[in-house]
Amino acid sequence: MPTEPHITFLGPQRTPRLDEVVASLGLHGPFATVNAGWQEREPEDELLDSMLGGRSHNLHLWRRMQQLWEADPEFAEADRERRDVLEEMQQLYLQGLDHAMAAITELHQHTPRNAWVMETALADTERIVRDLDARHLERVAEVHAEFWSRTTPHERAELAEAREAIAVELSDVEAVVIPGGHVGVLLGALHLFNIAPALDVPVVAWGAGAMALTERVVLFHDRAAHGPAVAEVFAPGLGLVKETVALPSARERLDLANHDRMAILARRFAPSRCLLLDAGAQVHVGADGRLPAGATVIGPAGSAQPLEAA
Amino acid sequence: MTTTPVEHPSKQRRRHKLAINRLRESEGLDEAAVDAFVAEHAVPVVEGSKCTFLFRGEADEVWVRHRIVNQPQRVPMKRVPGLSLWWVTIELPEGSRVEYQLEIRRGEHYEHLNDPLNPHVAHSPVGSSSVCHAVGYTTPDWVLHDPDSRPGELHDLQFHSKALRRNTTSRVYLPARFRRTTSYPLLVVHDGDDYLNYAAMKTVLDNLIHRLDMAETIVVFSNPADRLREYPNYAAHARHISAELIPSLHERLPLIDRPDARCLMGASFGGVASLSVAYRKPDLVGSLLLQSGSFVFTDIGDEHGGGPAFDPVVKFMNRYRERPRKVAERMFMTCGVYEPLIVHNRSMVPVFESTGTTVRYVEARDGHSWENWRDRLRDGLSWIFPGPQRFVYE
């Protein structure tokens, strides 16, 4: 069994080709599936299972999470409080971010008398945005750390039992498959049941599943119902894929034709690469957790381009 | 410098001759040709920004009556000599949706009717009107029934209001997948049954929630007895909403008990009701959704020209404008550019913003109508209570 993560990111699976992908990877199962991001539709995994040749085992993390909260009300209440705090933090971070991003847009519209003056002002404002992102991510991580230290998961019988059972279920799988869905719920379930240490087998992930495996999860939607939303840092991910911001369904969700906007996005998260995961995408992450040459990323000028070899 | 050659207008006219003009200029024009023309064209005939309205029948005079502000609202139609066809072409900008009727004079007798040649009809509590969809207007798909959207449920809620001294009937919308273990935001809708009947609001809620555009929300559709009395800054109504309706819902349903998870909404006088309740009951709600609010005010004196029903509105709005204060953190306002209230709504945006309220204001090429308010619901509801779309990645 490989000791380094061997991760494959896919584009959205509306026209599923998971069966071809696992065959091409030489994977035959058994597979563990983590579709907690589907929430109450977690059990509706017939298609997923059929794509995996009927050899998948659903870990049912979402259902287990509900059962755990029911069995341990004190833990459930602590978790609810944590979500409350995080929600307010996200809201306030977003308010600050909105203003900083609006300032960048305004600066771009300025007709410069001296080009270097404008470039300096833009760089300063973009630095403010990166600072906001970094501080927010740190604070979110602190809230999580404080929660785990306060709630002592190892001393909670129901949680310890569930973790142990899941570890057993994961012990004899050949690979783990993590589809998309609600990235917050998925990430919460992965952390709660401490799945990361078990991901030393091949992993195939897409959508929210891909985002959760990176170092930081960035939410984005340029085509939101109420107008383009500012991309926002949400939470630390599992960190198995390095220096990568995963952007699933990028063509649908991002205004890729707006190169100025995309260039800002690329600069904002550099040196991480903004990875575009559209239909048909298949990216084999190296054993070092880094993106391979040829993966489609947003280049410095804001256009989609293949990643050059390091 | 480059120049773009501009065609002489007469050439443009020849190239883009309107269908009605081609018909009028055709040889041997008779009733059979008119029959064929009417059968071939959707009426009004929309060609770019030109909309040609038609009427067939015997009459002494025919007019198109609409309510576009600052435009002649009774537009005479011309008769094609010797035939039963009447027509007039009106210019309507892209994306316009205009409600209208035809007025017909036969001798001393005047009649108002919907356009018999146009199947598009909009309904409201005061009757129905024909609708002209100008070029670029399409009915949003999210206002139509979507078999994939899981339907929420509507339940009647009846109780006696001490504040209003009458029995009240509201409808409570529970989203599909409603669970008692989850907590939901609350939206209180004024003129609730009208929103359900004329703005397809249940269908809209089902669709927006299904598409993740809007958060799962409990919505109460509240109904007035006499809206002209209860809605313009009426203390008893504010007491009813704040001390009876909302507490009663909190007792029965799992609601998030925070102002930012509560919103009041309404159109026209319902907008005034929403604003005045929030004004009278600070910290009750975090947001307001105000559609074509009847925010009539005067800058000098009290003469407003709106009739007695507007007296309490003007008194309230003038007082508010004298000393504006924040009544909600966030406010979503919409108004049709073809309605007289456009001036008042535009004027109120900076006033609300001056209080520190975050205001999002949207205009549409539409009038004071339920379908206008329906078409703006996605913008408003997805902003007030955004759905989890930003968290969901396939």
| Of the partner residues B177, B360, B378, the one whose CB lies closest to the CB of residue A225 | B378
Q: Does B388 touch chain A (CB under 8 A)?
A: yes
pTM of the full structure: 0.88
Which residues in A lie closer than 8 A to residue B150 (C-beta atoms)? Answer: none
Mean pLDDT calculated for residue range B92-118: 97
pLDDT digits (tens, 9 = 90+) for A128-185: 999 999 999 999 999 999 999 999 988 899 999 999 999 999 999 999 999 999 999 9
Tell me the ipTM for this assembly.
Answer: 0.95
Counting residues of chain A whose pLDDT is more than 70, the rounded percentage is 98
Mean pLDDT calculated for residue range A204-226: 95
Residue A117 lies in domain: 73-151
Judgement on whether residues B114 and B72 belong to the same structural domain of the protein:
yes
**Is residue B33's pLDDT more than 50?**
yes
Provide the sign of the torsion angle of the four alpha carbons B32, B33, B35, B36, taken in this order.
Answer: positive
In a domain, A1, yes or no: no
Last residue of a domain, one of B133, B160, B175: B133
Mean pLDDT calculated for residue range A83-91: 95
Q: Looking at per-residue confidence, does A124 or A224 come out higher?
A: A124
Judgement on whether residues B77 and B185 belong to the same structural domain of the protein:
no
Q: Does A113 touch chain B (CB under 8 A)?
A: no
Judgement on whether residues B125 and B169 belong to the same structural domain of the protein:
no
Which residues in A lie closer than 8 A to residue B392 (C-beta atoms)? Answer: 37, 180-183, 208
Judgement on whether residues B68 and B169 belong to the same structural domain of the protein:
no
Size of interface A-B (CB pairs under 8 A): 55
In a domain, B14, yes or no: no
Counting residues of chain A whose pLDDT is more than 90, the rounded percentage is 92
Judgement on whether residues B124 and B105 belong to the same structural domain of the protein:
yes
CATH of the domain at A63: 3.40.50.880
Residue found under tokens 């992450």: A285
In a domain, B9, yes or no: no
Q: Comparing C-alpha atoms, which of B3, B117, B122, B127 is closest to residue B62?
A: B117
Residue B66 lies in domain: 19-133
State which residue of chain B sits closest to A178, comparing Cα positions. B394
What does the pLDDT read at residue B139? 96
Domain count, chain A: 2
Judgement on whether residues B129 and B48 belong to the same structural domain of the protein:
yes
Judgement on whether residues B116 and B146 belong to the same structural domain of the protein:
no
Mean pLDDT calculated for residue range A216-235: 93
In a domain, A264, yes or no: yes
Judgement on whether residues B71 and B152 belong to the same structural domain of the protein:
no
What does the pLDDT read at residue A228? 83
Distance, in Å, from the CA atom of A302 to the CA atom of A305, rounded to the nearest integer, reads: 9
Judgement on whether residues A178 and A238 belong to the same structural domain of the protein:
yes
Judgement on whether residues A145 and A246 belong to the same structural domain of the protein:
no
Q: How confident is residue B16, by pLDDT bands cut at 50, 70 and 90? A: confident
Residue found under tokens 């939303």: A229
**Is residue A26's pLDDT more than 70?**
yes
Tokens coding B339: 């309605």
Judgement on whether residues A104 and A177 belong to the same structural domain of the protein:
no
Q: A283 to each of A244, B58, B69, how far by Cα in Å?
A: 12, 73, 58
Q: B207 to each of B212, B241, B245, B387, how far by Cα in Å?
A: 9, 27, 26, 12
What does the pLDDT read at residue B14? 52
Last residue of a domain, one of A135, A151, A167: A151
Query: Inter-chain contact A221–B389, Cβ cutoff 8 Å?
Result: yes
Q: How far is A160 from chain B (nearest CA, A)?
A: 24
Judgement on whether residues A229 and A289 belong to the same structural domain of the protein:
yes
Last residue of a domain, one of B114, B133, B152: B133
Q: How confident is residue B15, by pLDDT bands cut at 50, 70 and 90? A: low
